Amino acid sequence: MNEVQRLRAAIESHQPGDQRESAARTTILAELDSLDRPFDEDADLTHVTASGIVAGPRGVILHKHRRLKRWMQPGGHIEPGETPAEAGLRECAEETGLAVSYPPSGPVILHVDVHPAANGHVHLDVRYLMSAPDEDPAPPPDESQEVAWFSWEHAAEVADDALLGALRSARRVIDTSDHTPGTSERTRDG
């Protein structure tokens, strides 16, 4: 099974949390069938991206996108030879400056979304739950310097529609798991 087939199988088994995500799931599955190189941002304006809902004892990390000027989850394009899960982890580490990680059970798709991006691109975004240590973000100079921990409630207030479903999904997973970062009362209360 190649990486596109693995992603397809993972998305097929993923249960959407709301109507927007259900529509995104349908679109992504159709695009995976039609795109020659779905992970290559240069092959088509529509392509797969990977991002992370990075949780920890302080809540969730968001960064202010330099071009879009809005608060969003860290993530980005898939480099040649990377899997979406590897790209998500790399992008989150680069954009936060923190040692992010997947849960001990490994990467699992938390949420999917389809949204317009800069320069006429359409991102088929695959989102994973990740954790980060209780440290202040320290992105390198070439990344957005506006990176911060947000309480879950504040993150929902500043998030756009493309992020709200992922935040709700992350909270559901965290609130029902003893093994996922952010299960302390402090995080649940924001």
Query: Bigger pLDDT: 50 or 119?
Result: 50
Instruction: Supply the pLDDT for residue 181.
Output: 52
Residue 190 lies in a domain: no
Residue 188 lies in a domain: no
The per-residue pLDDT for range 161-175, each reduced to its tens digit, is: 889 999 999 999 998
Q: What angle do CA 125, 126, 128 make, to 5 degrees?
A: 135
| Longest alpha-carbon distance in the chain | 46
Residue 127 lies in a domain: yes
Alpha helix (H) residue ranges in the chain: 3-13, 19-34, 84-96, 152-158, 161-175, 185-188
3-state DSSP call for residue 130? strand
Residue 183 lies in a domain: no
Report in angstroms the alpha-carbon separations of 124 from 87, 184, 188.
Answer: 14, 32, 29
Q: What is the mean pLDDT of residues 101-109?
A: 94
Instruction: Supply the pLDDT for residue 4.
Output: 95
What's the CATH number where 25 sits?
3.90.79.10
Residue 44 lies in a domain: yes
Instruction: Supply the pLDDT for residue 117.
Output: 87
Residue 142 lies in a domain: yes
Residue 104 lies in a domain: yes
Buried b (16+ CB within 10 A) or exposed e, 77-92: bbeeebebbebbbbbb
pLDDT cut 90: percent of the chain above it: 82
What domain count does the chain have?
A: 1
Domain enclosing residue 91, as ranges: 3-177
The per-residue pLDDT for range 57-96, each reduced to its tens digit, is: 999 999 998 877 889 999 999 999 999 999 999 999 999 9
Residue 185 lies in a domain: no
